[in-house]
Structure 1
Amino acid sequence: MIRVLQVYPQLNNAGTEMVIFNLYKNIDRNKIQFDFLVEKPGELDSVVKSMDGKIFYINELEKKQYLERLVEFFYSHKEYNIVHTHTHQRMGEVLQAASIAGVKTRIAHSHNSRTDLPRIFSLYKRITSRRIEKYATDLFACSVDAAKWLYPCKYKQCKIIHNSIELQKFSYNQMKRNTMRLNLSIKPNVPVICHIGRFARQKNHKFLIDVAHQLVSKCSLVKFILVGVGPLQDNIRNRTKEYGIADNIFFLENRSDVSDILAASDIFVFPSLYEGLGIVLIEAQASGLRCVVSDKIPSEADLGLNLIKRKSLSDGASLWADTILQELSMQNNREFLSNSALLSDYDIRKTTKLIEQFYLERAIL
């Protein structure tokens, strides 16, 4: 059996982590097992352990410098000939340490096209990118934008790996829609707008609530479902109270029934300031859901189902609200769209075979 070391800052129930967990659940674990190197405990640690994976916490060796600790780790764990590190501030050092210790396959994987770090860190980011380009043997990214951002000099050498999902899980189902609306006490005729994402600056919740305020003034029946947690959550809750629209907003925090929530919704709104791709946007389209998104979303996120309406954030909240109302008036066969062949490139089974083959080929080098 091949053991592949996946490197993250922390394993939480978020988009980037779920990309690799979708692979983890579908890969042939008789041939390949994932272990994880992280900096601190996370929400998904117990899931890893239940799937016979190991978790190592690099912060357990706090007295030594980070790079030195990593080198020591790789020298003491020679069972790892493949290291797959994902977007995080220290991935350059991870790859350098793995190189020093003689790890043969060192993968960098970009999941974003920007960061919320202050501008003072732009120099650090350039240094990190150079280090990644120097020490990685393979470059992965979820989109061309994500490749250009992290590998500015070598993005043309990057392999684009789709953020794939379990398509059948997200196929539209009328029964799921009815049950979820019943659970939330939402009547069948009430329009529901959904957003799923961490409450952080990148996801632009402040603007989203401005849009909600405008939309409620134009259609008082409308409800918003916001799924996720994060540092700005209390701030956003307070903003809904200031606008007097708290009764129109459901805050559902992290959920395991995202497919049901998408089925219960009529429009998915995604006003992000930037995205590597936005896996939840793939999930929304797989549910046949019409989507109003910012023009900062990479073009690869549009699956060609005629469900995506791109808007500039500079258009303002009122125009966004008008666009949502227009999209609500448009009808589409969600069950038909959920089974479209255009979704096939984002089928987790297809991506799993691709990654599995890559790992197996590298293991025999």
Structure 2
Amino acid sequence: MRILYVVKGMSLSNGVSSFIMNHVRQMVTDPNFQCDFLVVTDIGSPYYDELKSYGCAIYFMPSYTRHPLQVVPFLRKVFSSQHYDLVHCNVMNSASPILMMAKRYGIKVRIFHSHATQNGDTKWKQARNKLFADLTIKYATTNFACSKLAGDYLFGKDNYYEIPNAIDITKFKFDENTRQKVRDKYHVPSNVKIIMTVGRFTTQKNPMYIVDIIAELKKQDFNFVFWWFGDGELEGDVKKYAEAKQVTDVIKFWGSRIDINRLYMAADVFILPSLFEGLPVVGIEAQISGLPTLLADTVSNETKIGKYTEFLPLDNPACWADEIKKIAKVDHNIVGASVDTSTWNIVKAAQRLKKLYAELIFESRKDL
């Protein structure tokens, strides 16, 4: 079975990258499974070396804007150099020519995977991207979605397979010794609460609102530091806004980290006030790590897998600050004990996905 994964990029702070890497790490143990990657926008990634160690080929797409005439020859070369049994496409705007070319080269299984409940952060982008999405759906043979909200939004009800954003449960399970080691390493006293978020600096993640929440917490003389993990195009603007709000003294910007599982354990509360999400992997990771979690009410309620996860509106930063202060006192072990991990075990999820791949390929060959 040879799979081509199509991704926008492979950033550490990207939920789609995490989803794919979590599954690929399980699948490559099978000698009959081969996966390659087509990266639409290359910004570099530490995942590349890992993927190459598994024998994965990585193709980097020419820019649609800078080198539009190179796109079609590039895709011809990719699809003529290898026979792929299946293309699993995880991008929206640039997906239609990729799946069109895949169809032209006889690839019978072409998956379009919805990872979000909105396809743009402005009305103009949403209208434009809907045209791209409709065209992509035309060339896809199978629809996947990370949640019911993401699936219904893009494909309509019951017209897709729901694929959970599963993770390595053992890697994220809370450990008191790890917590203490990390806090000691970064000199965080026991009476200081660590509030954290993980995500790219994009409009979708609502970063300016996060700064507003931090400002509210600081006004209330709450003893805390804020750990911010991620990178992205708005990082400079966010830092300027934090300076204007006079909160840079309580924020640590970490960038993207490969050891995020250990850093979750050092924290006390996780927040994600995104404008839209499909089903955020980081929300699952945080809960399994024993973190009380606050999510925007725009996020699918399927993300709630434990007792200490709440959904809040995006019209009142002071409300978020108040809730953070309340739940920061909850013990990690109590949070972890309330979490249902049955759907999110990557070992079982990867087995299910590989079985589904095989079934889709088998069914496609009946028509030959």
CA RMSD of aligned residues (A): 2.1
Identity of aligned residues (%): 27
> 1:33 is matched with which residue?
34
- Once structures 1 and 2 are overlaid, which stretch shifts more, 8-17 or 203-212? 8-17
Query: d(CA) in 2 for partners of 1:81 and 1:191?
Result: 50
Query: d(CA) in 2 for partners of 1:341 and 1:217?
Result: 32
Structure-to-structure mapping, 1:327-346, within 5 angstroms: 327-329=327-329, 331-332=330-331, 334-335=332-333, 337-338=335-336, 342-346=340-344
Structure-to-structure mapping, 1:5-154, within 5 angstroms: 5-13=4-12, 14-27=14-27, 28-41=29-42, 42-43=44-45, 44-59=47-62, 62=67, 64=69, 66-67=71-72, 69-71=74-76, 73-74=78-79, 76-116=80-120, 118-152=122-156
Query: d(CA) in 1 for partners of 2:94 and 2:40?
Result: 10
> 2:208 is matched with which residue?
206
Query: d(CA) in 1 for partners of 2:246 and 2:278?
Result: 34
Count of matched residue positions in the alignment of Structure 1 and Structure 2:
357
Encode CA deviations 1:153-206: one digit per residue, 9 max, x unaligned. Answer: xx4220000001001111111111111111221101111111111111111111
Change (3 A) 1:121 1:328: closer
Change (3 A) 1:58 1:192: closer
Query: d(CA) in 2 for partners of 1:274 and 1:117?
Result: 9
Query: d(CA) in 1 for partners of 2:39 and 2:222?
Result: 46
Query: d(CA) in 1 for partners of 2:110 and 2:162?
Result: 16
> 2:313 is matched with which residue?
312
> 1:350 is matched with which residue?
348
> 1:221 is matched with which residue?
223
SS at match of 1:156: coil
Query: d(CA) in 1 for partners of 2:232 and 2:68?
Result: 30
Ranges in structure 1 where 5+ consecutive residues have no aligned partner:
none
1:359 to 2:357 alignment = yes
- Once structures 1 and 2 are overlaid, which stretch shifts more, 205-214 or 24-33? 24-33
Encode CA deviations 1:331-357: one digit per residue, 9 max, x unaligned. Answer: 34x335536672110110111001111
Structure-to-structure mapping, 1:280-319, within 5 angstroms: 280-303=282-305, 305-314=306-315, 316-319=316-319
What's the offset of the Cα at 1:263?
0.8
What's the offset of the Cα at 1:72?
5.4
- Would you say the 8 A contact 1:87–1:112 is kept in 2? no
Structure-to-structure mapping, 1:223-238, within 5 angstroms: 223-238=225-240
Encode CA deviations 1:46-91: one digit per residue, 9 max, x unaligned. Answer: 22212110012231994736456535542x1351121110023111
Query: d(CA) in 2 for partners of 1:252 and 1:341?
Result: 27
- Would you say the 8 A contact 1:129–1:151 is kept in 2? no
SS at match of 1:59: coil
AA partner of residue 355 (structure 1)? L
AA partner of residue 314 (structure 2)? L
SS at match of 1:313: coil
AA partner of residue 12 (structure 1)? S
Change (3 A) 1:230 1:262: same
- Would you say the 8 A contact 1:8–1:88 is kept in 2? no
Query: d(CA) in 2 for partners of 1:176 and 1:69?
Result: 46
Change (3 A) 1:313 1:106: same
Query: d(CA) in 2 for partners of 1:70 and 1:281?
Result: 35
- Would you say the 8 A contact 1:71–1:100 is kept in 2? no
